Every structure is written in structure tokens, then in C-alpha cells.
Amino acid sequence: MPEPGGRAAIKLEAASPYELRVNLGKDVPETDVRSALATGDMGFLHSFTTGSTVDGPGVRVVAWTTGCMWRCRYCHNPDTWTLSNGMPVSVARAAEELGKYREGLKVMKGGFTLSGGDPLMQHRFAAKLLAAAKKMGIHTTIETNGYFGDRVADEELEKIDLVMLGLKSWDPERHKRLTGMEIEPTLAFARRLAAHRRPIWIRFVLVPGLTDDPDDMAKSADFAAKLGNVERVEVLPFHQMGRYKWERLGREYELRDV
Ligand code: SF4
């Protein structure tokens, strides 16, 4: 189906999210962008990838959204920060694409993961796409920093089988230095998910000299342990696979010696 802006020819599937993609939605008129955000009928995607075994249980199809207000110093996908770097895709087309993998995902005990960027920057699109996946009987996961968790309605939470929540640091000052944003909305979302008994996997990126303070880590662990709905904690090693994106985007990559 042709997409707004005539972009049907652009390939949505990428070999990996490490493909640098910019300006795919730059020709979409501002009014269409506003309407897309308001209705969720269209979203902006960096890409679809298939066969992931690291973005939730089993084998996953992952849709990577664009748009993120955070500026994590170790972010490996800075091209996803800007909404207009993504390709405009209707919910119908995204669901159709996902539907092709429906049976295979069930066999491989996997599902669909919506990642980013931060998918809740486009929360209406996220809610519609996750609901469409759920309707097809596909396990749904969202990978988010949780900052806009309060945008997700209670009934929409029911369509999300798993939330992979990035917990970056405990100390508010350190968190702000690391991400540019406050930690409290993320913690509030975690507490709300616990109250609704929605499963969480916590993701924590271990960066030498930046997030490896033992006291800070102990406090994050204590918080996670007390929530009662955390099924798993993943400590991810820092890597520099996204460094070239920072350099190609003309951004200063401060962690080049880490
Ligand atoms: S929240 Fe995720 S996408 Fe956003 S800057 Fe941080 S690592 Fe990058």
C-alpha cells in the first residue's frame, strides 16, 4: 500500500538497527505529522528487523520507532532521536508486515517488540500497533525508557505482555548527566506496572566510569527487587557499535576511550 509521501519504494526491513537512516520522513507536511501523532493511524519507523533473540522472549520481529527526548551518552541509535528520520508507515501496513511472521513467531515462542527511539513518543501509534499484534495472537513487548508511561491508558497496558524498561542510573544527578532527563517518571511507570501486575524486564547498561558505581547499582537493584513484577534484569555491556552514527551525524561522541 502506498504510504503518505509516496514512500512505498523505500525498504522498511533493515539488516539491523545499526543501519544509519536519516530524513526518511522529512517531506511529510507538518500538519500530517501532527495528525499522525494525534490519531496514531500513522507512525514513523526507523526500520523493521527480524530474527532478534535479544529484544524479548524467543525470536522477535522488532519495529524501531523514531523520536526520543533523551540524550543518553552511550546511545547506539542517535539517528532514532529525530522523528522525521523515520519512514511514515500506516498502522495497517505495519500490521500487515508483522502478520507475515505470525505463525513463525508462535513456533519460535517469540513475538513482536516495539523499540526505538522511545516508542511512547508516538504512544497512540504504539497502542494501535500493539493492539493489532495482540489481535493476531502475537506476544507483544515494548522497549522504553518509561518517561511517557503516563500516556498509556490502563486498558492499553493490557495489550502489552512485557515491558522492557531501561533503568539507566539511580542517583537523580547522575541520571540527568547521563540522559539529560529526570528519573522519576521512569520509576513512577515501573511502580504503576507493578500495581497492574504487568511483567517487566529491567535493562541496565554497564558503562565503566559512568554507571558502575556500586552504591548506585545496589539501589537500582533494591528498587527492582521490591517491585514484585520484575521477571528478569539484563545487564548489558557497553559497546561502541553506534559510535559511527554519532560521527556521521556530526555529534561529539564522548565515550570513544571507554
Ligand atoms: S532512551 Fe534509548 S533511544 Fe533514547 S537516547 Fe537513551 S538509549 Fe538512545
DSSP 151: G
Which atom, in ligand 1's list, is nearest to the CA of 145?
A: 1
**Contact between 166 and 145 (Cβ < 8 Å):** yes
Look at ligand 1, atom 3, and give the residue with the nearest C-alpha: 117
pLDDT for residue 5 is more than 50: no
Over the stretch 69-82, which tens digit does the pLDDT of each residue have?
999 999 999 999 99
Spatial separation of the C-alpha atoms in residues 157 and 165, rounded to whole Å: 14
**Percent residues over pLDDT 70 in the chain:** 96
Q: Rounded to the nearest whole angstrom, what is the distance from the C-alpha of residue 149 to the centroid of ligand 1?
A: 15
Q: Which of 18, 66, 72, 85 to mutate to test the pocket of ligand 1 (most atoms within 8 A of CB)?
A: 72
Spatial separation of the C-alpha atoms in residues 131 and 95, rounded to whole Å: 10
Q: Which of 46, 75, 148 to mutate to test the pocket of ligand 1 (most atoms within 8 A of CB)?
A: 75
pLDDT for residue 166 is more than 90: yes
Look up cell 536519516; give the residue: 22
148-149-150-152 Cα dihedral, nearest 10 degrees:
110
Spatial separation of the C-alpha atoms in residues 24 and 190, rounded to whole Å: 33
**Contact between 84 and 31 (Cβ < 8 Å):** no
Q: Rounded to the nearest whole angstrom, what is the distance from the C-alpha of residue 196 to the centroid of ligand 1?
A: 25
**Mean of the per-residue pLDDT values of the chain:** 93
**Contact between 84 and 23 (Cβ < 8 Å):** yes
Q: Cα-flanking dihedrals φ and ψ of residue 89, to 5°?
A: -140, 130
DSSP 231: E
Which atom, in ligand 1's list, is nearest to the CA of 117?
A: 3
- The confidence score (pLDDT) of residue 242 equals 87
The cell numbers describing 159, all together, are 495489550
The average pLDDT across 104-130 equals: 97
| Residue 117 CB–ligand 1 contact under 6 Å | yes
H helix runs in the chain, sequence order: 30-39, 91-99, 102-107, 123-135, 154-157, 172-179, 184-195, 214-227, 243-248
Over the stretch 217-234, which tens digit does the pLDDT of each residue have?
999 999 999 999 999 999
Q: Cα-flanking dihedrals φ and ψ of residue 9, to 5°?
A: -75, -20
Question: Given pLDDT bands bounded at 50, 70 and 90, which one contains residue 19?
Answer: confident
| Residue 79 CB–ligand 1 contact under 6 Å | no
**Contact between 236 and 202 (Cβ < 8 Å):** no
